[in-house]
Amino acid sequence: MFTQIDVPGANTGNTNPLGINNTGQIVGSFFNGTGIHGFLDTDGRFTTVDVPGNLYSTFASGINDRSQIVGSYYPASGGITKGFLDTDGIFTTIDVPGASDVPGGRNTNVLGINDNGEIVGVVGGVDVYGSHGFIATPLPEPSRVALLGIGVIGLGILRQRGTQN
């Protein structure tokens, strides 16, 4: 069975779904008179996903089961493409370290995210440096590290008490 997906208000034939999670949420991009925008489709309800700021385009390309959305955006002022992570409406820019330092800059295109928050994409451009894939692994939040440390210490104490009895 096939179901047609069209974002309401998109120009005819300009809805491009690119990612889906296990709950059936779909992300992608669409074009209308104001530019290229990302979208989230949740059971037929469409939400526009645009990185805040003066942008030319936003492309949503991946979504995980925690509804974290990734993609890429291009600023209206020009420059290079950067990636983004949208977690509950909070946007984080993803720019591969050193990519902007190369003469002419290099684009960071984010393509997917898994349920562990690991992000994959491509950095590169049409230049002598070529394109290269990348994986970005999130760092644990300090509070989680502290809780893990406390848990390990607690287990060590319980184990030591168990061997003394």
Q: Give residue-wise pLDDT tens across range 72-91.
A: 999 877 778 899 999 999 99
Q: Binning pLDDT at 50, 70 and 90, where does residue 30 land?
A: very high
pLDDT, residue 127, reads 56
Are the beta carbons of 46 and 7 closer than 8 angstroms? yes
Higher-confidence position of 64 and 78: 64
**Which tokens belong to 13?**
């034939």
pLDDT, residue 12, reads 78
What is the H or E stretch that residue 161 is in?
A: helix 142-164
What are the structural domains, with CATH classification, of the chain?
A: 15-139 (2.130.10.150)
Q: Mean pLDDT of all residues in the chain?
A: 84
What is the model's pTM? 0.80
pLDDT, residue 83, reads 93
Report d(CA 66, CA 74) in Å as an integer: 25
Least reliable range by pLDDT among 4-8, 43-47, 97-101, 109-113: 97-101
Given a cut of 60, whether residue 27 has pLDDT beyond it is: yes
Are the beta carbons of 93 and 131 closer than 8 angstroms? no
Given a cut of 70, whether residue 124 has pLDDT beyond it is: yes
